[in-house]
Amino acid sequence: MRAWNRLPAAVFLAVVCGSTASAQVASPSVVDSVVDSKFELFVHDVSESQDFYAALGFSVAYAKAEGYSTLTNGSTVIALSSLPWWVPVHWVGFLRHPPIGTEIVLYAADLETSKAMLEDRGYSPGETRLQPWGHRDFRITDPDGYYIRVSEGAAVPSEP
């Protein structure tokens, strides 16, 4: 019975309940332990950020009175959390860019339509370029300095 103590709870429950959710139930090292994900951005003006991400096709799925909100577009989830007005993010916004910061990559069904939606709402995405890895993309910075790359292709390449 001691061996059961070393298995993650999800594996234990799957074995006991007879779940077939994972073909690899017997091997805890390959069990999918992450069932969902989102990334959370800390922003000065949640409403302004909602408008920006709406231009990329996101809609508000959940919002709290104090400003926290969750946006969705397909299976992609972005949460927005309010920063206090006195946090000087704009002074250090360059720290949010690669190679120091984070690059948020969104994969578009139609790259040019995504770019046009941003432009129609007054945003200025960068030039669409063909990258050395074979996909076209454009770059833009959101209202709080987060570096966004909108790309063709898929998050998980189908070929090595």
Please state the CATH superfamily assignment of the domain spanning residues 39-151 in this structure.
Answer: 2,3-Dihydroxybiphenyl 1,2-Dioxygenase, domain 1 (3.10.180.10)
By CB neighbour count within 10 A (0-12 exposed, 13-18 middle, 19+ buried), where does 123 fall?
Answer: middle
Q: What are the pLDDT digits (tens) for 81-129?
A: 988 777 776 666 666 666 667 889 999 999 999 999 999 999 999 999 9
Q: Which of 55, 116, 43 is nearest to 81 (CA)?
A: 43
Domain locations in the chain as residue ranges? 1-34, 39-151
**Phi (first) and psi of residue 147, to 5 degrees:** -90, 120
Q: How far is CA 95 from the centre of its chain?
A: 18
In this predicted model, which residue has the larger pLDDT, 1 or 27?
Answer: 27
In this structure, are residues 78 and 41 in contact, taking their beta carbons and an 8 Å threshold? yes
Check residue 21 and give its pLDDT: 42
Q: What are the pLDDT digits (tens) for 56-83?
A: 999 999 999 888 999 999 999 999 998 8
